[in-house]
Structure 1
Amino acid sequence: MSVAALIVAAGRGSRAGEGIPKQYRRLQGQSVLARTLSVFLAHGNIRRTLVVIHPDDRALYEESVSVLPASSSALLPCVHGGETRQDSVRNGLEALADLNPDVVLVHDAARPFARPDLIDRAIAAAGRWAAAVPGTPVTDTIKVIGDQSEVLSTPDRFTLRAVQTPQAFRFPLLLDSHRQAAAAGLHSFTDDGALAEWAGLPVHVFDGDTGNIKLTHPADFHEAERRLKGDTMAYVTRLGTGFDVHAFADGDHVWLGGIKVPHERGVLAHSDGDVILHALTDAMLGALANGDIGTHFPPSDPQWRGASSDRFLAHAVELVRRRGGIVDHLDTTLLCEKPRLGPHREAMRQRIAEIAGLRLDQVSLKATTTEKLGFTGRSEGIAAQAAATIRLPEVSA
């Protein structure tokens, strides 16, 4: 059988953090996509490999593939994806139509740990069943819940499988299924096995690999780094604190936690004056023992005039990660009489989590007045204090 691999790399991967799509983030100096491609290009039974990318990612893609070693498996010119994952896969299948391989393996670029034996099983499963997906046993008890979070049923976990990629199909059957779905106006299938089921194909499950993880959240990348290093490194926890204050001035809004909040006053500041992000930046730098926000972004430098403070916090987070560290938790208290935090709290938490590449439960945000005491009590200004908890590799003395 002739076999082609279709690597889906058109997603944005925002939950992974760091500002670039996760498939282009580096693991031990090499992009995730390059590591994923290396496995498929080196496999002796795969004749052609095609990558589907986002139109905006051409430069990132070219940089990734430029480091790949020569391989007997040809890497075809990439094609652009569509609005949804389903559209992207269909674009890739259409690009392979002239080659008309017997089997196509559809794989997520964000799974760089697929092993050759898993690919062998995928190819064999496609030959045997025509449509097959890898799956691993579910170890947790699963609950089906209703609109009010009530438990509707408890499936027998022994009949359940967590599905992975590469998913394996006879090429003409999968291409036809995708064309049927597009003609029916359906574009939201996130899994090719599910689309094949919709098209009436019997889909079988073959043994997956628990090590074939998908990189989604920042913590997944930390685990992947340690896995590649064979890392048994010990980590030390550090706590840093930060404080920032700005006087009120003329204006109609303030920036807080990366969110523009309407207010009867603005603040006097060189940048956008976001006291929450400034305090968090200083807390992170304090945990690193690496100066303060003024050291890294001097007010005397005109390039920071009016700058968005998310750049400051993102820089501090990047400094932690460059040292092999992990950001565990961010906690901030806003001190002011007005504006009220409550209506904007969750939007701010979400924005801080996005900037720092954290889960929402790793970001805490509180507020207090100062009982009319001091400059905040007199509504002359606004302040925030913050704490950041990080882990850094332990260094021997």
Structure 2
Amino acid sequence: MDSMTKVREMRQFGGSDLTAARTALEAEISSVGGARGRHTRGMVIGGGAIAAGVVLAASLVGGIHPSPASAQEILENAAALQVALYDTPLEKGQFLRTTYVRESLSYLGAGWQEEAEPFSTVPDDAIAAVLTGSSDVSYRSADPSDDVTHDTDDYYGIAAYGDTAAAEAAWADYYMTGGAAKIGKKNPGKVWRTGSSAQGTGFLEWELQGEIPEDPQAFLDAWTARAGAIDPESDAGTRTGTREPALDRLWRLVGDVDFANASGHDRAVVLRALALTDGAEVVSTSGDLSVVQYHGEWGTYRLTIDTAKGQLVKVQTESTRGIRYAADSSDESVVDIRVPAFVPEGTYASTETITQDVVDAAPQTDDRDD
């Protein structure tokens, strides 16, 4: 995971004019900014003198009564606080540890015994569901040229719902034969290394097949145009052409491990584009944490953002549509998703959680995978 250096965000949203303080903060941010597993189908540090200066500037303006920030303001501020990779002020021998955990629902259909892949993200005739998980704990050294160490749990079952006996039997038949632990257990984590820029590097260039526009609207236009283009590697004659809407995919993308590993510059581009979304709203605020929500065509997306650090700490997706594949994957169709009653209320189709801290050591390994 990349080091998301953060300058503490002190922007106020009220009648008082803190333009000078905001401008100084954003200018400083700009000056340091820069440039394995088997799954189901379907789918800071920093603050210091700059923050202290803004605190002082704010304290000199009396009678500040800030109004709640809008979703657009929260996203724009989070973008402003994204800075270049490796700028976290680590001391020699220290590591930025980033823990990325993904949980998602996987459904089991009634005729699973006849299916080559019994689990799906779409609950067609579902009799059971398994909440699955995977995690990546990465360690980035104070030396930006050093390898990144990962401690991963590739794929595991957390809990089963509905017909738990069927879920456990299907899990054993499909996953445990490949070495996975039974539901409710995890195998020992795997420790391995990648090059310092291997993961997350250039993912937007790859998505857009070209240069990334700096202007948020130009980026959105390019993203939408690319999403509507025909993939030359796909077999258009055997597909119905179903595609996740471009804006939905962009809101979901921020929960991907590649987004967490991208440069601060790339993350800022995406967050500024999301700030242009009509209908995004703030649904809750508690201390420095605000939850921004967007109702898309294929689901509802909730981003929990630490507004003081500009850090995205959780992404939750509640899917309302998905893709059903033919048994031989020769065809696909878009279907509505209705979560079965046996799934506990409040369980999301997917939840990604990101946390960071500084540590003095990383696991040792000779295993590399670039």
Question: TM-score, length-normalised on structure 1?
Answer: 0.23
- Structure possessing the higher relative contact order (Cα contacts under 8 Å, 6 or more residues apart): 2
Structure with the higher helix share, 1 or 2 = 1
Structure label with greater radius of gyration: 1
